[in-house]
């Protein structure tokens, strides 16, 4: 399988919300996520200052396989990256 890593677009967040819902609604978390609430969460994170979202895509069909989203945070003399969410499909 050929893959590609690239920054997420706002449009990619819709597909990311589906993955998020599948991952966190299932075992072991069993949380009550819907695609809509997952999308709102990911969208809100994407509007945080310093946001970075990276997706892992199947390069032949451009299907999202997994992602990481978070934001850079300034410290005294360096920046760190705070991970808000990370999800990967268990099967593709």
- The CATH number that applies at residue 43 is 3.40.630.30
How far is 2 from 13, CA to CA, in rounded Å? 21
- 5-19 confidence digits (pLDDT tens): 999 999 999 999 999
How many separate domains does the chain show? 1
Q: What is the pLDDT of residue 91?
A: 72
- 63-82 confidence digits (pLDDT tens): 999 999 999 999 999 999 99
Sheet holding 51-58, edge to edge: 3-7, 51-58, 63-74, 79-88
Structural domain range at position 42: 3-88
pTM of the model as a whole: 0.89
- Complete DSSP assignment for 16-48: HHHHHHHHHHSTTT-----HHHHHHHHHHHHTS
């Amino acid at each position: 399988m050929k893959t590609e890593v690239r920054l997420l677009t706002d449009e990619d967040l819709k597909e990311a919300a589906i993955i998020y819902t599948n991952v966190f609604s299932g075992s072991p978390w069993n949380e009550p996520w819907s695609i809509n609430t997952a999308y709102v969460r990911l969208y809100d994170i994407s509007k945080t200052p310093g946001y970075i979202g990276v997706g892992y895509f199947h390069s032949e069909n451009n299907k999202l396989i997994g992602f990481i989203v978070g934001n850079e945070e300034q410290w005294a003399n360096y920046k760190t990256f705070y991970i808000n969410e990370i999800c990967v499909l268990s099967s593709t």
